[in-house]
Amino acid sequence: MAVAVDVLPVHYRDGAALEAISDAVDTVNVIRGLATPTTFDAESRFDSEKDKSTFRQYDEACDRVRSFYAEQHARQTVAHNMAARERFYSPSRRRPEMTVWEAIEKLNTLIDDSDPDTELSQIQHLLQSAEAIRRDGKPRWMQLVGLIHDLGKLMLFFDGCSEGQWDVVGDTFPVGCRFDERCIYPETFAANPDSRHELYSTQHGIYQPGCGINQLLMSWGHDEYLYLVLKDQSALPPEALAMVRFHSFYPWHKEGAYREFMTEGDEMLLHAVRAFNPYDLYSKSDDVPKVDELKPYYLELIDEFFPQKIIKW
């Protein structure tokens, strides 16, 4: 049996506000052209006839997104990231325990369905991504990534796992080295004390060239949180873990930044992340999935890659 999940009262952790800023971030990325469809095994087909202009307009999202990134870029320091991971792994943290499907249902209850791009529930959002991947004949593990890739947002509601929207959603980047000009709104990093740090402000910072993309200390958020949950508790392949961890790392997978840290095997991970990106951003306008009809298929899929059933979140 899964243990009861302790969450903060919803009025302290505003799920609707989180989704609103998350959608605004996605909108800016879509309209800036950061989500050019690329694929893992073959070109994605589900979004070939979509009218991307039907999503909320760029100008409406920009002001809100810029304010969000001004806070995120000022506060995502090495010190914050080290402390966040210490809290995640702390023996004193009572990690909620539940199955993957229970986590999906929990996210559904905590995030209000006021998404301005669609009136669908969170479960339907996740199933849209998974079903688009499934229709395109992608591997079963990639279908599962589509289903679970947003579950890290649960961290907003777990005590001690986040401090606000700014360390849950948004584009990600490494800390501990110079902030790259190819990050969105790079000028806002000037407010981050690490930008003036003797070591962290240098090009390579605490890293060595060729150290490997997985060795980077990525900015804390729901992607990193879910990656830490999955890497020791699932049978997902490295490509799947990369999709989860790096799909918001736009400076790397779209702009070509931070390539000096890549090592053997990282091109494969980059290819996988680029393949997943269209399914993350464009699937919200698909047909409404029928949860009851699809649930048995995805429960079987979950069991295939989560043999221990109950996951510590």
Annotated binding-site ranges: 56, 112-114, 125, 149-150, 153, 170-171, 222, 247-248, 280
Number of continuous H segments (helices) and E segments (strands) in the chain: 11, 4
Which amino acid is located at 64 in the chain? R
**DSSP secondary structure string for all residues of 117-147:** T----HHHHHHHHHHHHHHTT--HHHHHHHH
Q: Mark the binding-site residues for substrate, compressed into ranges.
A: 56, 112-114, 153, 170-171, 247-248
- The residue among 14, 44, 7 whose CA lies nearest residue 275 is 44
311: helix, strand or coil: strand
Residue 288: left (phi > 0), alpha (psi -120 to 50), or beta?
beta
Closest C-alpha among 212, 146, 211, 201 to residue 178: 201
Q: DSSP state, 87?
A: H
How far CA 287 is from CA of 107, 128, 131, 209, 284, in Å, comes to 21, 8, 10, 45, 8
Residue among 76, 217, 94 nearest 228 (CA): 217
CA angle 32, 38, 42 (to 5 degrees): 160
Instruction: Please state the residue numbers annotated as binding site for Fe cation.
Output: 125, 149-150, 222, 247, 280
CB atoms within 10 A of CB 177: 23
Is the alpha carbon torsion for 65, 66, 67, 69 positive or negative? positive
Contact 69, 167 (CB under 8 A): no
